[in-house]
């Protein structure tokens, strides 16, 4: 009888450990997209955000962490006029829609700014192995 109880308890403990393990898929930014599939794994851009994996230039870096609008590899003063021209409507581009809501508005500017102040910021990080190639087809 005691042995049966021990077996039952160990089975229960095993089950708990197993289910805890099964739920432990790495998702650093907590946006419900597992890191290995997240095209912007350090910024939330999942189904809960409007930016749900939007990647308008298809380089594998989601718009949420791709403020390099002229594709030269870094975010700097060259990218600012591109943002501005898209914002004013002079030369609209979907690349400046960092929030992924389909428009370039004041919501998108803080994301640009946070990369711009760290001059030389490269797009990413991305969890996709094809990031950096256009089109990035995982």
- Compute the least distance from the CB of residue 36 to Ca ion, in Å: 11
Minimum distance from CB of 35 to Ca ion (Å)?
Answer: 8
Residues near Ca ion, by CB under 5 A: 29, 31, 38, 40, 45, 55, 57, 59, 61, 66, 68, 70, 72, 79, 97, 99, 101, 103, 108
Closest CB to Ca ion among 83 and 99?
99
The residue (of 18 and 55) whose beta carbon lies closer to Ca ion is 55
26 in Cβ contact with 12 (< 8 Å): no
Q: How far is the CB of 4 from Ca ion (least distance, A)?
A: 47
Q: What is the spatial distance between Cα 52 and Cα 69, in angstroms, rounded to a whole number?
A: 19
Q: Which is nearer to Ca ion, 3 or 90 (CB)?
A: 90
Q: Which two tokens stand for residue 130?
A: 């094809």
DSSP element (H, E) containing 6: helix 2-22
Q: Look at residues 62, 58, 33, 38 and name the one whose alpha carbon lies nearest to residue 48.
A: 33
Closest distance of CB 52 from Ca ion, Å: 9
Residue closer to Ca ion by CB (options 1, 24) is: 24
The dihedrals phi and psi of 75, each to the nearest 5 degrees, come to -100, 115
At 81, phi and psi to the nearest 5?
A: -60, -30
């Amino acid at each position: 009888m005691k042995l049966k109880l021990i077996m039952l308890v160990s089975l229960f403990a095993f089950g708990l450990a197993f289910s805890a393990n099964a739920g432990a898929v790495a998702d650093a930014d907590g946006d419900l997209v597992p890191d290995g599939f997240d095209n912007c794994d350090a910024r939330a851009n999942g189904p809960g955000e409007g930016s749900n994996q939007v990647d308008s230039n298809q380089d594998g870096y989601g718009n949420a962490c791709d403020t390099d609008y002229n594709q030269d590899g870094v975010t700097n003063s060259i990218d600012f006029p591109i943002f501005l021209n898209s914002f004013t409507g002079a030369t609209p581009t979907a690349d400046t829609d960092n929030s992924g809501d389909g428009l370039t508005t004041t919501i998108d500017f803080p994301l640009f700014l946070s990369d711009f102040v760290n001059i030389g910021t490269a797009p990413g990080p991305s969890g996709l192995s094809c990031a950096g190639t256009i089109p990035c087809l995982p």
